[in-house]
Every structure is written in structure tokens, then in C-alpha cells.
Chain A
């Protein structure tokens, strides 16, 4: 057996570069290195858990396509000839692509974040290293973005097989849907970092996620509501995500409104980020 030694051996250190595994002052990590170091943790976790989550990623679009597209869709098509001349499936699928990102954001930014703060204290482990609160936030944000990308890609792939999209232009739903998910991610990060237990998550589900899903024009146009109610939809990020995805998928993009939708989503990401940095710092730096 080799002598048990806590000192680094020469093997494995990169020749030419002063190794950071050697005692003494170290070369600081670049911003990208720090973000990727945190991201690589989440990647390691994902390597262990992807099998469990991937089935759900395929099943949830299937359920929706069956229930909404085939079940509800045939009713709508038979009675009123679709929505604005569009088969119901092609009306609803781009909207669900946007809406499912809200659930993915919820799934990845609530219990997970609270766990890293309170239960397994994974964030604290990172903060004992050269990582800062901002690095931790960046790395986890990147990980949620990766989850959103995977989930949305799978969702869109399955939906495409069922004829849920009218044209290949629908591929541009992918970045918009991811942006929609991120518009939820940063505010939820900020909210979660202020929670002690999971009570707040139930409130979030019941009073935010569910109403948003129902009233953001996902399943029927918000124009169905009385005029005074419609402005409520305008301030929610989901309505903007739904509209932008639907416009892109149906080839009905009007530049002005589209830019407006994207801008609102971007503002949600930015303001959420600002709040998240503050609540993470307040919670993690005693």
C-alpha cells in the first residue's frame, strides 16, 4: 500500500502551469471557470438522476397531447372548427411548450434550492471554496437552463411527431420557451431563498402557477375574458411566453408585439436575478 500522505504528489499536475493543488498563493479562477465549476456539480448530480427524470420528461407531453390535442381538440374542431382557423392541437401545443417551462422552473428552483441552503447545505460547501454567492447563483442558473433545454427539446420532439406544429419555424419556440422558464427561475430562486419550509411552495403552486396556467391564454385566447380582465394577463410572464411561442409556431409574428413579449420576459429574468442575489446573500452569508 502506498504511504498515506495528505500532500499532493507530482503526478497529475499540469506541467508548465503552477498547479492550484500546490500550497501557496493560487492563480484566481476566471468567471467562466467558477461558473463551470458549480455547473459541473449539478452535472454530476444529473448523471446520477437523469434516468428517474427522463421518463417524466417524455410522459408529460404525451399526456397533454392525448388529453388536449386529441380529446379536447376533436371536440373544439368539430364544434367550432378550431381556433381562428387553426386546428386546436396546433393552437395549444406551442402554448404548452411555453407553459411546461414554468413547471420545470418550479421543479428545479424550489425544493432543490432550499435543500442546498438548509438540508444538505451544498451551497455552503461551495462558499467555503473560492466561490462567491454570485458564482453559486450563476452555476445553478446555468443548470436550470440546461434542464429547461432538455425538457423543452424532448417536449417539442414528441409534439412534432404528433403533428403539433404547423411549420419548421416552430424550432424558434425553443429559445423563447427557455427564456420563459428563466423568467420564472430567477424570481422563484429569490422567493425560495427566503423560505424556512415548504409551505411557501404550496402557496406558489396554488396561487401562482395554477392560475397562470389557466388564465394566460394557454388553452383558449385571453380575448374570451371580459376586457377589464385582459390586462392582468399582460403583466404575467407566462402570457408573453405563450403568445411569443404561438406567434412563432404559427408563422404569425408581428415584430412590435414579439419584441415586447421578449423584452418583458427579459425584464423578469433581470429583476428576478437582482432579487435572487440579494436573498441568497442574506441567507447564505450569516
Chain B
């Protein structure tokens, strides 16, 4: 079996790169000249609120939506000229499942494998392996329609792996799933990553981004506002800890000045104050010593949510 093309790649090889990548719909610019590169074997994320341009980016990367301007390369190939050849090597989980709910679980896989030119025999073998991987073997012969949201999502992922893609694109893989279903899915994605598949995902959940991504870009209004590993982004744009204070107040803006000078910085949200300090407990002690009496005071580690808040002045999920 000839595997030369796979064996010769080096670990820091860039599989996917974009320069000045832009997408417009009429007058509206959904993706506004973004640059990024994804290396082989990493999990790369786009974190941003609804409407940030994540799906528009993913559709261009998936070679199903033409690039308006800028340069996009996958495996060194230009999607405008080599769309089918690139898609043959991609796996794609769009934001909305595109399963045929009237067909059975395994029929969905068989049919999809044929689009990639797998023989009938190959498709059957792959489908059995992938159903095992997606923990759906016992539902193989069932119709898709009554399956839970988490199962459908796992089936979509299994289906997208039928051609053994080198890059797997996941647009909001766990949106709408309950916490347990999300954890099952994350576990599957970890396994995939360990087996060498490069993951590119979008999410508006900061915990998902922190859990899964080696590197990510923060997107807002079609632009990239920050880039790095979850840890480095938090180090750069936030303190180590956050003290959350809730007051018995209509508007927290009114109580904000009471805490000025505590910590490095204070963010005011409608329902709470966020005091940024490397030592949250110490900040809480200062609050207490000033005689300020919040309804509740909670010290937690800083997250990507804090990074996003700092960069855009808004929360991720509203």
C-alpha cells in the first residue's frame, strides 16, 4: 500500500492557511480579511458570538462557498481550482445536521461513502468501524429521526470520517446538546485528535474552546481580534483570577465606583461586577475591609469569556 504522501509530512506542516480571507454577501462583509494557519495534528478553533462570521469562514474552508477575496490554501491547493480534490480529503460537520432522517443510521453512512468513491465493500467496513467509534452500533439499523440530538451529532461526525479525512471541520459541534452529550462528544473528538486527525472547529462556548483547542482565534464582526493558545490568551488579556461581586442593585454601574482601585481592572455587567486580580481572595479581603457588602462574592479562575469581554466589551453568549 502506497502511503508515501502521508509518511513524508513533517509535524509542523501547515495544512490550511488563509491570508486576507474575505466573504461578502451583497454589501455586507461577513468575513473581513482574516489571516490564520492550521498545522497538521492540532486542534484549531474559531471562538466568537453569533454572527461573528464563523460559519461563513468554515464554508469557505470546506470548499462549498467560494472565496470573495484573499488567499485560501488547503494541502497547498486552491479551492477555486481543486475543490473536489480538496473535499475528497476533508470531513465536514456543518452547523445544521444534513442527515437523511428517513434513512437508517447505517444507510446514511453507506450513501455518503459512495460520494467519496468508496466501493460498496469499503463503505460497509468503514461504516461498521465508525458506528463503533460513535457508539451507535446498536442503533445501526434504526431510523435517524427519533435519535437524540447528541446521537445525531455523533452520527454526523461518524459520517464525516467515512473517507478518513486529514482535516475535520466542525461548525459548533455541541450547540444545543445537554452537558452529558457534550462530554461524550468531546471525548470522541479527543480520540480523533490523538489518532492524528487535524481538527478545525467553531464554537461560542468558551469552555469548549478551552477544553479542545490547542490554538484559537477570537472572532468578532468578521475580524480576528486575538490569537493564541487558550492559556496564552488568558495570560495576555486577563488576570489569573476573577472576583465576581453581586449587589442588591438595579444597575451595577451605580455600585462600580465603590470598588475602584481594587484589582487591576473592573468590568461592569448588568447583573454583576468582575474584579480582575491575580489573587482573587486578597481582592475579596480588600472589598471586605472597605466595608462593602455584596450579596455574593465568588473567586474563580479567568476564562476565555473574560478575554472576549476585555477585547470586545461584550459577553459571548447573550
Q: Which residues of A are interface residues toward B (Cβ below 8 A)?
A: 1-2, 4-14, 18-29, 33, 36-38, 40-41, 44-45, 48-49, 120-122, 124-132, 285-286
Contacts and interface: CB of A to CB of B under 8 A. Distances in A.
B279 interface: no
A6 B88 contact: no
Given A6-B161, A286-B25, A19 B115 contact: no
Given A20-B163, A24-B6, A130 B59 contact: no
B4 to A, nearest CB: 8
Nearest to B192: A6
B118 A21 contact: yes
A47 B115 CA distance: 18
13 contacts: A7-B164, A8-B126, A12-B124, A20-B88, A21-B113, A21-B164, A25-B75, A37-B115, A45-B102, A120-B101, A125-B100, A129-B112, A130-B117
Contacts of A285: 64-66
Chain A, interface SS category: loop
A23 B89 contact: yes
A37 B161 contact: no
Complex A-B, nearest 6 residue pairs according to Cβ-Cβ distance, in ascending order:
A12-B125, A129-B115, A130-B84, A125-B98, A121-B98, A37-B114
Contact of A45 (B96, B103, B114): B103
B85 A9 contact: no
B283 to A, nearest CB: 46
Interface stretch (B43-51, B127-135, B255-263, B294-302): B127-135
Interface in B16-67: 25, 59, 62, 64-66
Given A44-B110, A45-B103, A285-B66, 4 more contacts: A6-B192, A20-B163, A26-B89, A125-B99
Nearest to A25: B5
* Size class of the contact patch on chain B: 35 or more
B238 interface: no
Contacts of B285: none
Q: Which of B1, B101, B114, B192 has the most CB of A within 10 A?
A: B114
B107 interface: yes
Given A29-B117, A48-B103, A5 B94 contact: no
B2 interface: yes
Contact of B125 (A9, A121, A128, A129): A9
A44 B96 CA distance: 22
A5 B133 contact: yes
B269 interface: no
B195 interface: yes
B137 to A, nearest CB: 9
B251 to A, nearest CB: 42
Contacts of A29: 84, 117
B164 A128 contact: no
B197 interface: yes
B195 A5 contact: yes
Interface string B78-121: 00000111011110101010111111000100111111111101
A21 B124 CA distance: 12
